Amino acid sequence: MIEATRKMLKYIGISHERLYLEWVSAAEGGRFANVVTEFTEKIKNLGPLHPLSDDVMLRLKAMRMAVQSERLRWVIGKQTEFQKEGNRYNEIFTQQEIGRMIEGVIIEELIDNEIILKLSNNSMSVKQIAKDLNYPSEIILTHIYALKRKDIVKLKKIEGNTPYYALNNKEKVKGLLNGKG
């Protein structure tokens, strides 16, 4: 999960070096002090994060939702099994294949969550969402349809030839926004 979170940080434009995990035993006091000192120095050299733009704040919220998603946790939890035992078809995956799969899930989860966050305030067209999030309209449309199938997004109205989408299931979305999805 740490590696997935590091990939997400990099994807949203924050240095993945801000997240670090080192296993240190209680008997390794000197080593613990060195690890903390080195990491503190690295963070000082990277400088503060503030002020964060609205875009980065939105992506951080989307990242928080993604880290808590069942889908991402499931894929990460299965990686050892997929490498050693394979999937239900006995296909064994390499570390590189697992990495690509996890990265794909990360990107899909982040985009889904960014869309959900954008629609949490009002209805929007695919073009508006794409422009605000800086993704091609085709990608947003694909995600909108997937979110619609999951009963998270609905067609709210059509103005002229432009469909506008809104969040559908307020309770389900409220759970997603609060990290319970």
Mean pLDDT along residues 55-64 = 90
pLDDT of residue 83 exceeding 60: yes
Per-residue confidence (pLDDT) for residue 105, from 0 to 100: 92
Per-residue confidence (pLDDT) for residue 135, from 0 to 100: 96
Q: What is the pTM of this model?
A: 0.80
Mean pLDDT along residues 77-90 = 88
Q: What is the DSSP string of 113-147?
A: HHHHHHHTTS-EEHHHHHHHHT--HHHHHHHHHHH
List, in sequence order, every beta strand (DSSP E) within 29-167: 124-125, 153-159, 162-167
The number of CA neighbours under 13 Å toward the Cβ of 142 is 8
Per-residue confidence (pLDDT) for residue 144, from 0 to 100: 97
Query: Which of 15-29, 100-114, 149-163, 165-179 has the lowest average pLDDT?
Result: 165-179
